[in-house]
Structure formats: structure tokens, C-alpha cells
Structure 1
């Protein structure tokens, strides 16, 4: 390099301690951590009570965990000067609120780093605590408190919500205690194309009353702004939405409708299997071998799979499975129609066909028809309200499963809800520069 600009490094600038109102006065490198000696920049030698000048009265040292550099834990030893007023005798210390909150063990920069590591990089609390060289409880308490202040307690968090999704979620797999929670998702960004869906809240239990109570606690103006509620087939959610959000449109999303048809197909296949062979499906049984192919959309079936289906349906004893499979394919085709109007017409025709006049032998189709007829308005509403699918809700449930796996499970529901809101609640660090 012909015009080198390398100079002696300024540790204060390099470690960004100038942003915290600190200046580095020394450093000490240990095998497991780096220690930076600091002092508070500026002079606080004037009494805040009477305005008289103070005289130095010794110093105290404050120890703070700072953001790691190169994954080496960094500790700040901040020398804080004490003053005594010459007029009223009041004693005070230099202001370190810019560097850290009172009685905090993490610097402001460390807290920002930990929150970004948890939310954006999806690190565990254990990994964050290791990088900061603090205990698990210290890191966890600090991150959750800051996340609660920035996101959970944000009064504007529910503003602009017009489309919500509701679903149940299993938060723990134990024999004792309740394991279900109700999750409420903001689907407005999906519909408007503004971004991904986000978790609005998580409530213990799964029932009509749980969802109704949560809705009843929202301001009336907020409830009046809700246009669509996407949900599964649970009638409790529908009833609660109808009572608390009478102007909103209930939409039963394609995922759960298709699952109803898929369950009917599986039940028919298992019944025919038992009737023909007297036992559950085995590796050599044609119906068992075709169980996955039967759930594949007709437009995605390969030549080899099509040959397997032709051989399966060539057997007259499988005619009931073939008829149920055709109904399942018609339902999938309705959702994959090129335009909503065509899809709506196909779905409406299908519901009319299977809701009456179904042969007695097709018990699973008859049951499916009754269910679809009962929820026909909610099912068809999807085609009138594009972008109102509850699919993103299922996607967020998957992210929460990953969160629980990373943490090796949760025992405290309050902790789980807070972590879930940070993980999927739409927190964006770049929107909080003052973190």
C-alpha cells in the first residue's frame, strides 16, 4: 500500500466505549477473557442540589460484562469518581447511566449484543452467557427484561392489525399439567406484502373462553378494525370470534381443510385394510405401500407413482379407497385453481356433491361432507379473502418447536411466552437504535 493510513489503535473507539461515555485507560489480556480498565468521560463535579462545586472523595469500581470481541469475553472495570459538595455536604458519584443501567451487570452494548444474538442469530441463553462470561440467570434476566421493555410492553405493538390467525400449540410434552396454549398471530403483513407474520400473544389453555377473554381485553377500536380471523376447524374459536368480532369474517384455512380430507382418506384406507386382511398395514400390503402416494396431488404424481396407483385401483376391492381419493384430489384441485373464482366454484360444487346422497359404504366421505357443509361459509370465505390463510401460523408453530428444542424444553410458561414473543414477535433490532 503506497499511502498507508494505519495508526496506533484507539481502544476506546475500537471497542465503541465512546458511545457509552467511557474512555479506556488500560487493558489486560487473560487466557479466557479481556479486561479493559475505563474511566467516565466528562466531569460531574457540580452538586445537583445546591449547585456548589464538589471536591473528589475517592473512587469506586464498577465491573460490567461487555460485548465479546472475537468471541473472547470482555470485562469493563470502570473507575467511578465520588464527590462531596462543599456547600451542603451531599455526596454523589459520576453518572454511568449511559454505560449501563443502575445495578446492571451488563453494559448497554452487551445487552444490545445479547438481544440481537438471541432474536436474530437464534443463539441459546447458555451460549450468550458463555460469550459474556456471566451466569445463565444473569444473561437470561437481563435479556428478558430488555425484551419485555422494548417489545412485549410496547403499547403500539398491536397497532395496524386487521387480519389475525388463531391456533393451538403444544408447549410441553409432559403427563402432568396443561400442555396446550392458544397462539394469536398477526397475518396483516402477509396480506399486505409488508413482511412475515408475527406472534401477537400466547395464552395458557385452548378453549372458546380463552380466546374470547383475550379478545374482550382488547380495546373496542382495535376489535372493530379486525377484518378477518383465520382458524382451524375448532368451533370454539369460531364462536368466540363471532361473539367478540361480529364484523370480522371467519376463514377456515386450506391447510386444515385439506387435512380433514386427508384424514378421511387415511381412515378409509385403514378400514378397507382391516376388512380385507384382518390386520394393520404391513410392508407387503398394497394399500400400506401406497399410503404416501395417495396424499400426493394429482399434478405432482410421477409416472412410477401413477403406475402404482393404477395397479392399486385395478383391484375392485379397493374401489372405496379410489372414490375417497378422488374426493381428496378434487378438494386439492379447488385450492390450486388458477383464479379464486374458479376455485370457489369447484369447492362449492364439491361440498354440494358430498354433503348428501353419498353411498353408505363411503362412511368417511359422508362424515367429511357433513363437516364441510357445516363450515361451508368459512371455507368459501378463503376464496373471497386471498392472503388470509392460517398457514403462516403453522410456520410460526414450527419455529416455536425449534426454539423449545434449542432450549432443551421449558418448564416455566411465563418464560416460554416471553422467549416466544422475542423469537417470533416481530422484533427488529434496527428499529431500536437506542437499545
Structure 2
């Protein structure tokens, strides 16, 4: 029968147990005792005896006994502690500067650590795949937050510093996201916004597996340009397509640093601009005809959502409501014209072929700026300023910033899970991990 310290009844506590060693799964140590109390499993280990020479002079050193080190290991149903009986030696050479020294087992623990080496791999896998937090993992280990993070962080820093993770990027996306939603926190917790760079390169099947490449503080063209400058010439020459939102700072950075890449204005934001223009017209007509903002029974207010639907997706009932409300609430047909312009912008992205979509987009650029409706004319001028970037969508196989927005969603999710971040460096490392920006070796996958 097993006892608290040995494998079989009557076996000395110091005798190693091969079966326990298999269960423990740590190379280089022998299990000499196992006990469980107070909701914790304690496994006592030691290394096999070996003749040891001084690391400095090589003289065979006599033993100075052992000291006990308590290490935190990967938890099971209860927290697990590894009690390591660490050997110590004394150098007998009087002229050697080294007096005493202790054995080191890199496969078990770092020189001054209190967490086993495999806990680092376990924690990174939990953070990456299981939406865990450092705080939650620390509670499972029964250690402090900082105790765990200070061994995980250097590993993530090494992975983030590996420039090979930028290899093979053919399509580059950029977008900003808000780190702090409250302005007063900016002065105490760093920048309010970050700029994220995302790999949107398609695989052989034409699918995009977006991954976050980096996060830099601020939402400026300079921040983006500096990041591009810091990359290698091979990286910059490999980027053939660059997607972006209609923000001039990012466009200028691409013009200066990635002049050979085709810039593409994100389709979602183009349609969003057209929808905003239509909504402005609807609200203006509402105020002009009824003298107040939309209410439940007002004709234009009743169709505010229908106006945003694609014309081909409307049901007969929706068509009937649309026509009736426009007839009663749009005496000058301004909302009707704005809706037709909005549908035209949408139809360019829904065209059967890229050539057909480009023809529609070129017509939009050529005609909208001369529209008598102020909001549509403003939209036309905006699209004319972004003409080449707008038309780039139809020459790049539909490149867009959708993958970048998906990465932003992952960032928002993990920021909520962690209840926010105070340190921008920790924030960057965690988001690179969860959003696929780090090349993980097999032991971390």
C-alpha cells in the first residue's frame, strides 16, 4: 500500500519511485516522497548522486548537505508543490575564489526562481488558447500576480523581439483602437489610443488568417511611419497591398514608407461614409418638415433602419413602407436621392466582377461631387480625394480591413477579461500573444 512518503509500505522515504517519476514527468529528478494535506499536493524530489567538481577549478568537491526549495508546479485538481532537496558542495581548494556552490537543474527551475520551468509553458498556453488571465492562473498556483508574470514576461519579450515573425507579410492592415476611454487617465496611464498593424496576407486557398504584428502608442501617421522604418527593407519590399481607414496620417505614412504597395481604402468605411451622409440628410429633412427630431410615428423615422438595408434584400412589406414614408415625409425627394446614392456605393462592392464594380465606383467619383445636395457633394469630394485608394479595392482581389477589425475585437475581449491594463508594455505583450503575433515554439502551442 502507498504511504505518505514512499511508494510501498516499509520502503524508506528516500527511495526513488519510478512510477511516481512517470506521473510527475520531470526529467533529471527522482521522486522520493508524495504527500497531500490542506488541499495541496507536495512532491519531494532530488537528483541522483553524481561526482561533482568545482565549476571554477574542477577539483572534486565534498558534499555540504542539502537545502530545501519549495517550487510551485502546474496544478491538477489541487495546487502542486515540488519540494526540491537541492545538493550543495564546498570547494576544497583554498586558492579557489568559489567557496560553496549548489546544483542547478535548468529543466526543473531557473537559478533563483520559485516556479518550475514548465509552469511558464503552461501559463502561456492558457493565456493564448483558454482566455485566461495572469491573476486567475496565479490563484490556481497560489502565488502572487507578479511572481507568475515576472517569469512569463521575459519569454514573451524574447518572442516579440524575433524579427522572423514579420516574414511573409504581403498584405498589411492598420487601424487604431482606444486603450483608455476616459481622457483623465491618459496622463497617468499612458496614451489613450494605440495603432495596430495586422498581417492580412491570404493563404493558398485565398483565406485571410489575420494576426496582430505589433501595437504602438498613439494614433498618428508618425507612429505608423516610425514602425515601418524600424522594419527591415525586405519586409517593406514584401508588402504589396496596404489597407487603411480614411485617415490621412496613415495614408501619408504609406506614401512615404511603402510607396510600392497598393493602398486600399477599407470597404466598410466607404459604405459607412455614404450611410452617414444619408442619415444627415434624413435628419435635416425631418427638422425642416416637422420642426423636431424623429419620433416614433414620423415617416422618415420609421424607415431609418430600412434605408440602411441593401435594396435587393428588402421584402415586399419593407418596400411598401419605404415608398409610403418617402412619399409622405420627403417632399423634395432629397432622402430618396441620398438613398439611391447610398445603394450605388454599396452596389460597387456587390458587383459580379471587379471590373463591373470598378466601373460603378468610377461613376460615383465622377458624379457625386456635382450633386446639388450638400452632403452628397461633400461625400463625392472626399471619395475624389481618395480616388486611387478607393479604386484599389477592385484591383487587389477585394483587400479590406475586415481582419484588422476582427483583431480589434479580440483585443477588446481580452482587455475586458483582464479588467483593463495599467502598463502599456504588458498590454502589448499580452495582445501579441492572444492575437497571434508571436511565433510560438512547439512547447508553447
Question: Structure 2 CA distance, aligned partners of 1:336 and 1:288?
Answer: 27
CA contact (8 A) 2:208 2:403 kept: no
CA contact (8 A) 2:173 2:401 kept: yes
1:108 aligns with 2:117: yes
Q: Residues 368 and 248 (structure 1 numbering): CA distance in 2 closer, same or farther, change over 3 Å? A: same
Counterpart for residue 350 of structure 1:
364
CA contact (8 A) 1:44 1:94 kept: no
Counterpart for residue 165 of structure 2:
157
Deviates more, 1:257-266 or 1:299-308: 299-308
Gaps of 5+ in 2: 1-16
Q: Residues 58 and 42 (structure 1 numbering): CA distance in 2 closer, same or farther, change over 3 Å? A: closer
Deviations 1:320-344 (A, max 9, x none): 1121111111211211122212211
Q: Residues 140 and 301 (structure 1 numbering): CA distance in 2 closer, same or farther, change over 3 Å? A: farther
1:55 aligns with 2:62: yes
Question: Structure 2 CA distance, aligned partners of 1:191 and 1:347?
Answer: 29
Deviates more, 1:121-130 or 1:45-54: 45-54
Q: 1:37 aligns with which of 33, 38, 44?
A: 44
Q: 1:298 aligns with which of 311, 329, 337?
A: 311
- Give the TM-score normalised by structure 1: 0.90
Gaps of 5+ in 1: 1-7
Shift of 1:265: 1.4
Shift of 1:234: 0.5
Q: Residues 304 and 67 (structure 1 numbering): CA distance in 2 closer, same or farther, change over 3 Å? A: farther
| Over 6 Å off, 4+ runs | none
Q: 2:323 aligns with which of 298, 310, 315?
A: 310
Counterpart for residue 347 of structure 2:
333
Alignment of 1:14-413 (within 5 A): 14-18=23-27, 21-41=28-48, 43=50, 45-70=52-77, 72-87=78-93, 90=98, 91-149=100-158, 151-176=159-184, 177=186, 178-189=191-202, 193=206, 196-315=209-328, 316-317=330-331, 319-356=333-370, 358-359=371-372, 362-413=373-424
CA contact (8 A) 1:43 1:94 kept: no
Deviations 1:258-291 (A, max 9, x none): 1111111111111112112222222232322322
Counterpart for residue 10 of structure 2:
none
Deviates more, 1:135-144 or 1:40-49: 40-49
Shift of 1:191: 8.2
Q: Residues 299 and 428 (structure 1 numbering): CA distance in 2 closer, same or farther, change over 3 Å? A: farther
Counterpart for residue 3 of structure 1:
none
Deviates more, 1:136-145 or 1:267-276: 136-145
- Give the TM-score normalised by structure 2: 0.88
Deviations 1:201-256 (A, max 9, x none): 11111122221222222223322222111101011111111111211111101011
Root mean square deviation, CA, Å:
2.3
CA contact (8 A) 1:181 1:203 kept: yes
Q: Residues 249 and 86 (structure 1 numbering): CA distance in 2 closer, same or farther, change over 3 Å? A: same
**Residue correspondences, number:** 421
Deviates more, 1:184-193 or 1:221-230: 184-193
Shift of 1:116: 0.5
